[in-house]
Amino acid sequence: MKGFTSPTIFIPNLPTTDILKTYRTLDQFKNVFGEFRGLTDGWGMPAEMHSSLGWLGFEVTQTNSLRVVSVFLFTVGKRQTAKQEYVWTIDGISIKEGIFKSTGHKPKMEIYRDK
């Protein structure tokens, strides 16, 4: 593999999904996941821009499984007339969680290629 689309980071004591669902600011998510490190896109007009941010974090559970949490935020940036900077807020939140358990077998990379 030469690249990846979903950088995932280890986060000890990753907050529960219920706690993450209470967050309403970008800073709250950045305090948990750090600065955004993935791909994003922007669209809109000079006065109001739209974008998205997403993170994947994991922690090791007491049963040696991996708890993985995906957070995807839809964001809106409104331009401040005095400073000409955007102030970004969250317009929508998607949070998903999964548990990965060991099968006891060696990992095998499975790649689908359309011939």
Residue given tokens 């007491």 in the structure block: 62
Q: How far apart are CA 59 and CA 12, in angstroms?
A: 6
Q: What is the residue type of 25?
A: T
pTM: 0.79
Residue spans of the domains in the chain: they are 8-34+43-100
Using 50, 70 and 90 to split pLDDT, how confident is the model at 1? Answer: very low
Using 50, 70 and 90 to split pLDDT, how confident is the model at 115? Answer: low
Q: Where are the beta strands (DSSP E) in 1-115?
A: 8-10, 42-45, 48-60, 66-79, 86-100
